[in-house]
């Protein structure tokens, strides 16, 4: 087979990872295969989607040519508390390949057996959460949001014990890199400046090549760029109602891609306090808290970079603080622009902030669904009966909005902007649970495949969309997600 993986992380040296092979599984079988991604990676030229070998390769039972399996070292702040040693406990980075557009992509197996970082974990992944990670990644990707993506889910034929016995699975994951804020924290905690600098230069080469050749300035510029991408990412999450659920620094990428879909969920009824994760009792990672947490995570990244930013600690703190202080303005500006587009305004004015916050208050008070409401507003621009209905439901607000739109430009353009900004369909919690239940119980992925097909065209109504637009009858009351996956 021609495909040969490279692994540039290996060149960083032994302090950065532990070389360790995946642990073979009993009876690997292909459950989900991501054809569009395989095509983007030019894999289907060499790997036949029908071949039994796929299950061997993406379970870790056989290694793809050139694989150099390793578990990466990282630390992290979990729910605000620093843990100096985390690392890939159940994942193996196999190497990297070049996709169709010439971009380098890393291939990692998750659930492929315990690594030296596993502590007490079993190194395994349950089928349900693996299906969920696959579907969520594809849904976000289709909505245009930076994310890691799953290439395959392989069932292992083994049982994984969580609260109950589950079928085991190995997920293969594609990312532009698996660098996390926690990767930097790992070396900062060990006061290993040389490794930190190596990591910075690796991140710059991989994600921010325009910073090469910027000398000592590159460290603060790296911070600025990572912050920039994290702001964009959170604004995008807020656009679609995504709640990550566990925004620890070890789950925050340097690339700005969404990673580690553990207890994530979608907000139905608009409420910034929405939180579904069973362990997040204080609501640290609630929907509306995500910008503040992203800012907090960037401060943790900044701390790791201080000794590189300037030799004089006081100067370093000043420089980093100036950068971090920019977070709020940048976020607010992009958030307002994004929200303005959700209501069809492309030339936002300062006064639009009030229009937007009044709409959100109204949705919250009337317990209206976030996704459905913006879709109805969009459609109302060409449906007089729906416009009338919304006029009754939203009162003065609807009239004010209409008046505002008439000053912004053509209604047709407003509607087209809204169509591009407001998804028609999202991976709703109850739908996701049902799809996972059916798929795991029947040992058949067709329910998941159908869901995926719909989620892959989030802005276009097809004859299959409608059933998946239905909101949950109990508005997700009592819905809970779990971390131990």
Binding site for ligand AMP (CB under 6 A): 86-90, 114, 117-118, 121-124, 246, 251, 260, 262, 483
- Shortest CB 73 distance to ligand AMP, Å: 10
Q: Is residue 277 within 8 Å of 263, Cβ to Cβ?
A: yes
H-assigned helices in 443-476: 446-455
Task: Choose the contact partner of 122 out of Mg ion, ligand AMP, none; CB within 5 to 8 A by kind.
Answer: ligand AMP
Based on the residue annotation, tell me whether 250 is a catalytic residue of this protein.
yes
Q: Which is nearer to ligand AMP, 36 or 121 (CB)?
A: 121
Q: How distant, in Å, are the alpha carbons of 52, 206, 208, 273, 451 from that of 30?
A: 8, 31, 36, 39, 18
Q: Which is nearer to Mg ion, 257 or 260 (CB)?
A: 260
Using CB under 5 A as the criterion, which residues of the chain lie in contact with Mg ion when the complex forms?
A: 251, 260
Q: Which is nearer to ligand AMP, 87 or 128 (CB)?
A: 87
Task: Choose the contact partner of 89 out of Mg ion, ligand AMP, none; CB within 5 to 8 A by kind.
Answer: ligand AMP
Q: Which is nearer to ligand AMP, 87 or 137 (CB)?
A: 87
Q: Which is nearer to ligand AMP, 236 or 250 (CB)?
A: 250
- Shortest CB 122 distance to ligand AMP, Å: 5
Compute the distance between CA of residue 260 and CA of residue 221 in angstroms, rounded to an integer: 26
Strand intervals (E) in 139-257 = 149-161, 165-175, 242-243
Q: Is 250 exposed, middle or buried (0-12, 13-18, 19+ CB in 10 A)?
A: buried
Bridging pattern class, strands 81-83 and 76-78: antiparallel
Compute the distance between CA of residue 399 and CA of residue 393 in angstroms, rounded to an integer: 11
Task: Choose the contact partner of 118 out of Mg ion, ligand AMP, none; CB within 5 to 8 A by kind.
Answer: ligand AMP
Q: Which is nearer to ligand AMP, 208 or 237 (CB)?
A: 237
Task: Choose the contact partner of 386 out of ligand AMP, Mg ion, none; CB within 5 to 8 A by kind.
Answer: none
Compute the distance between CA of residue 153 and CA of residue 139 in angstroms, rounded to an integer: 16
Task: Choose the contact partner of 124 out of ligand AMP, Mg ion, none; CB within 5 to 8 A by kind.
Answer: ligand AMP
The pair phi, psi for residue 50, each rounded to 5°, is -90, -5
- Shortest CB 227 distance to ligand AMP, Å: 22
| DSSP structure string for 41-55 | TT-TTTS-TT-THHH
- Shortest CB 261 distance to Mg ion, Å: 10
Q: Is residue 72 within 8 Å of 87, Cβ to Cβ?
A: yes
Q: Which is nearer to Mg ion, 90 or 341 (CB)?
A: 90
Q: Which helix (DSSP H) or strand (DSSP E) does residue 201 occupy? A: helix 193-207
The pair phi, psi for residue 132, each rounded to 5°, is -60, -45
- Shortest CB 81 distance to ligand AMP, Å: 13
Q: Is residue 320 within 8 Å of 308, Cβ to Cβ?
A: no
Compute the distance between CA of residue 2 and CA of residue 322 in angstroms, rounded to an integer: 49
- Shortest CB 262 distance to ligand AMP, Å: 5
Set 250, 260, 369, 375: catalytic member: 250
Compute the distance between CA of residue 372 and CA of residue 45 in angstroms, rounded to an integer: 41
Compute the distance between CA of residue 363 and CA of residue 404 in angstroms, rounded to an integer: 19
Q: Which is nearer to ligand AMP, 123 or 256 (CB)?
A: 123
Task: Choose the contact partner of 10 out of Mg ion, ligand AMP, none; CB within 5 to 8 A by kind.
Answer: none
End-to-end Cα distance, the chain: 34
Task: Choose the contact partner of 256 out of Mg ion, ligand AMP, none; CB within 5 to 8 A by kind.
Answer: none
Q: Which is nearer to ligand AMP, 118 or 438 (CB)?
A: 118
- Map tokens 């995926």 to a residue: 452
- Map tokens 């690796």 to a residue: 202
Compute the distance between CA of residue 8 and CA of residue 436 in angstroms, rounded to an integer: 36
Task: Choose the contact partner of 352 out of Mg ion, ligand AMP, none; CB within 5 to 8 A by kind.
Answer: none
Would the CA dihedral through 451, 457, 458, 464 be positive or negative? negative
Compute the distance between CA of residue 7 and CA of residue 368 in angstroms, rounded to an integer: 48
- Shortest CB 180 distance to Mg ion, Å: 8
Compute the distance between CA of residue 427 and CA of residue 430 in angstroms, rounded to an integer: 9
Cα 330–chain centre separation: 20
- Shortest CB 51 distance to ligand AMP, Å: 29
- Shortest CB 129 distance to Mg ion, Å: 12
Pick from 241, 239, 242, 238: which is nearest to 259 by CA?
Answer: 242
Catalytic residues, by residue number, are: 250
């Amino acid at each position: 087979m021609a495909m040969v993986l490279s692994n540039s992380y290996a060149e960083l040296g032994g302090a950065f990872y532990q070389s360790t092979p995946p642990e073979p599984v009993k009876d690997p079988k292909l459950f989900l295969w991501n054809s569009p991604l395989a095509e983007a990676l030019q894999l289907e030229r060499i790997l036949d989607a029908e071949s039994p070998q796929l299950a061997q390769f993406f379970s870790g039972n056989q290694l793809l040519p050139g694989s150099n399996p390793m578990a990466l070292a990282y630390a992290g702040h979990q729910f605000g508390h620093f843990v100096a040693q985390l690392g890939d406990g159940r994942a193996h980075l196999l190497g990297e390949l070049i996709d169709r557009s010439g971009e380098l992509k890393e291939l990692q197996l998750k659930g492929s057996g315990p690594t030296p970082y596993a502590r007490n974990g079993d190194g395994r992944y349950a089928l349900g959460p693996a299906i969920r990670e696959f579907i969520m990644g594809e849904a976000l990707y289709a909505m245009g949001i930076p994310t890691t993506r799953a290439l395959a889910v392989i069932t292992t034929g083994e049982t994984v014990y969580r609260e109950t016995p589950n079928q085991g699975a190995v997920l293969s994951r594609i990312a532009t890199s698996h660098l996390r804020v926690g990767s930097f924290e790992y070396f900062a905690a060990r006061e290993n400046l040389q490794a930190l600098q190596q990591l910075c230069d690796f991140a710059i080469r991989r994600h921010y090549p325009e910073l090469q050749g910027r000398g000592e300035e590159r460290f603060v510029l790296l911070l600025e760029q990572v912050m920039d991408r994290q702001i964009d990412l959170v604004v995008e999450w807020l656009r679609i109602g995504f709640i990550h659920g566990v925004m620890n620094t070890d789950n925050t990428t340097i690339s700005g891609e969404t990673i580690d879909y553990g207890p994530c969920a979608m907000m139905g009824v608009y409420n910034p306090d929405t939180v579904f994760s069973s362990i997040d009792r204080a609501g640290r990672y609630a929907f509306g808290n995500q910008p503040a947490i992203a800012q907090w995570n960037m401060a943790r990244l900044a701390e790791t970079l201080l000794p590189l930013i300037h030799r004089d600690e006081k100067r370093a703190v000043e420089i980093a603080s100036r950068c971090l202080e920019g977070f709020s303005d940048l976020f607010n500006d992009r958030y307002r622009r994004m929200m303005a587009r959700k209501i069809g305004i492309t030339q936002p004015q300062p006064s639009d902030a009030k229009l937007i916050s009044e709409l959100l208050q109204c949705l919250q008070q009337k317990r209206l669904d976030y996704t459905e409401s913006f879709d109805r507003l969009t459609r109302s621009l060409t449906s007089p009966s729906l416009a009338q209905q919304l006029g009754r439901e939203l009162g003065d607000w609807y009239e004010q909005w209409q008046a505002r739109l008439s000053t912004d430009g053509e209604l047709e353009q407003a509607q087209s902007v809204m169509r591009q900004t407001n998804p028609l369909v999202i991976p709703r919690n109850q739908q996701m649970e049902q799809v996972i239940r059916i798929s795991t119980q029947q040992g058949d992925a067709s329910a998941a495949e159908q869901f995926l097909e719909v989620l892959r065209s989030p802005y276009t109504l097809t004859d299959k969309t409608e059933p998946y637009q239905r909101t949950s009858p109990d508005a997700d009351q009592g819905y809970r997600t779990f971390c131990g996956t």
